[in-house]
Amino acid sequence: MMKKIWKIVALTAVIVLLAGAVCIGVSYFLGGSVSSLYENKGVLSLLDTFSPGNIISSITAFFGA
């Protein structure tokens, strides 16, 4: 049972990961980049929220360090 679920999860993850990689690849192929994404003001606040630095600082704030 567990093995079956593992197979389904792994297969789904691989397919989704490949789809994501294809999206990013196509975006790069069309001339997009992360730096150009940061220039988009509508997304900037979101990218700031999910930036690694912000995540680490929120975790350290949560644990009171």
Binding residues vs other proteins (CB under 8 A): 2, 5-6, 9-10, 12-14, 16-17, 19-27, 30-34, 36-37, 40, 42-43, 46, 49-50
Indicate left, alpha or beta for 5 from its phi (over 0: left) and psi (-120 to 50: alpha): alpha
Instruction: Quote the CA–CA distance of 11 and 8 in Å, as a whole number.
Output: 5
What distance in Å separates the CA atoms of residue 46 and residue 23, rounded to the nearest whole number? 19
**Least Å distance between CB 13 and other proteins?**
4
In angstroms, give the least distance from the CB of 61 to other proteins: 15
Closer to other proteins by CB, 20 or 60: give it.
20
